[in-house]
Amino acid sequence: MILNVLGCSGSIAAGCKTTAFLLDGDVLIDAGTGVNDVPLDALARIEHIVLSHSHLDHVLSIPLLADSVMRLREAEGRGPIRVHALPETLAALRAHIFNGVIWPDFTRLPSAEHPVLELVPFAVGDVLELAGKRIEVLSAVHTVPAVGFAVDGGDGGGWWVYTGDTGPNPLLWERLRRMKVAHLVIETAFSDDERQLARISRHLCPAALGHELAQLEGSVDVHITHIKPGEIAAVMSQIGRLGTPHRIHALTAGQAMRVG
């Protein structure tokens, strides 16, 4: 499996695209502004979207994607794109985006019988079987109901883990200690100079990241995501002083990662 990093920034600016990962071309993990650079024919091949939570930087491409691919998928006789998320996240999409005010309800377009989007609930601990891939739903601790995801590399290849947006989270590390983690994508949104803001917003700063990573055994490839624009140098400099056995790098849009 190949996972393409479409976006991994904590907000927007020139060259900064918010969170979105495309797995084997047909499963989208979060749907931030990184989706905007995907060609139309490739967008139409996406069959599943899994969402970590309802915040705009992770969902804002869904309504535009639906509008873009609806005609192509209808002409090809294809079914709806299935959007998988916590019930609370799906409720937020219905109430605040697909409400006819912010955007038309594409869960009922082009018709209620054959919509371009279908909303599908999951729960923490579920293992999703999507387009031949196994994705486990992990716990997260954020200001809204949230999750992370672990993609099974199969054949002993280890798991690709994405924590989603989360503050300190003992349940996550309890689960990861029972997994062979090959890649860990973990957010560090703020520098230590803004650790109070990180705590209030349930994000990590480098000091908190160090405490969290100390709970993960071995030496793992760790990829830092969700850094705010203009803060990459400060955040990565502080992370570089953590003294961890893990191999830590800043994630970049356009990067491709092999899973399994």
90: tokens are 């799906």
Cα–Cα distance for residue pair 103/15, rounded to 1 Å: 27
**Predicted confidence (pLDDT) per residue in 218-246, tens digit:** 999 999 999 999 999 999 999 999 999 99
Percent of the chain surpassing pLDDT 90: 98
Percent of the chain with pLDDT over 70: 100
pLDDT at 157: 84
149 closest CA partner among 167, 122, 189: 122
Could you tell me the fold of the domain covering 2-258? Metallo-beta-lactamase; Chain A (3.60.15)
Task: Let me know: does 33 contact 19? Beta carbons within 8 Å.
Answer: no
Number of H helices, E strands in the chain: 8, 14
Q: Which residue has the higher pLDDT, 221 or 157?
A: 221
> What does the DSSP 8-state code read for residue 37?
G
For range 36-47, the mean pLDDT: 97
Q: What is the mean pLDDT of residues 135-150?
A: 98
- Sorted by where each begins, the domain ranges of the chain are 2-258
